[in-house]
Amino acid sequence: MIEAELKALVRQPSLMLRTLEGTYGPGRAEVYRDTYYDLPDGSLLAADRELRIRDIESVDGTRRTLLTYKDPRVDRASAAKPEHETAVADAEAAHAIVRGLGYRVRLAYQKHCRNYVWEREGRLFLASLVRVPQLEGVFLEVETAAGSAAELAGALAAVRGVMAELGVSEGDLTSELYTDAVLRARRGRG
C-alpha cells in the first residue's frame, strides 16, 4: 500500500475546524506519540526509509500501538511512501524488540490530531488537523491509499480534490516531513 498524502499549513485553524466538523461530522481527538528508530550508522534515514512505533491515545482513554515501516518516497511533491503497518499488542515489548535488534531512537515527538474518516466513490479518506508542539502553526493532512505506483496519480488527484474543497491552495502545501521539521526546530533551539 502506498500512502497518498498531502499536507498543508492551515492559515485559519478555527475556520478549518468548523469546515471539517460541518463536512465530515465530529472528529476524533487523539495524541500520537511517535518514536522513530534508525540503525547506529543512520542508514535508514540516509535511504529515506522509516521505522516507527506510534502509541495512540484517544480522549476517551482508548490506547493502541502501531508498528510502521516506510520505504523511500515514490513521489517527491507529496512525499508518498509505500507503507507497511501492523497493530502491536504490547507497546513496551515492541520498543524492546526494535532496540534489541540494534535500532536506536532517532527522534520522538507528539502529534495532537483531530481525525475525520469518510468514504467517497469507493475510496477511504482520512483528514487530520495536526498540532506538533515543537512546530509553529497547524497542519492539515489528507490521505488515502493507492494499491500500487500505477494507482498513485489517481489517489493523489482525489486527495488534491478534497484539499481544494476544503479551501486549501497549492501554495499552502508542503512536502516537508514532520521528522525533518522537528529535528530542524530542535537544532534551532540549540
pLDDT of residue 1: 92
Determine how many CB atoms are found less than 10 A away from the CB of residue 51: 19
At 67, the pLDDT band (50, 70, 90 cuts) reads very high
- Owning domain of residue 130: 2-189
- What's the structural domain count of the chain? 1
Q: What is the pTM of this model?
A: 0.92
Express each pLDDT in 82-128 by its tens digit: 999 999 999 999 999 999 999 999 999 999 999 999 999 899 999 99
Closest alpha carbon to 56 in 24, 87, 97 = 87
Determine how many CB atoms are found less than 10 A away from the CB of residue 84: 10
Which CATH number covers residue 139? 2.40.320.10
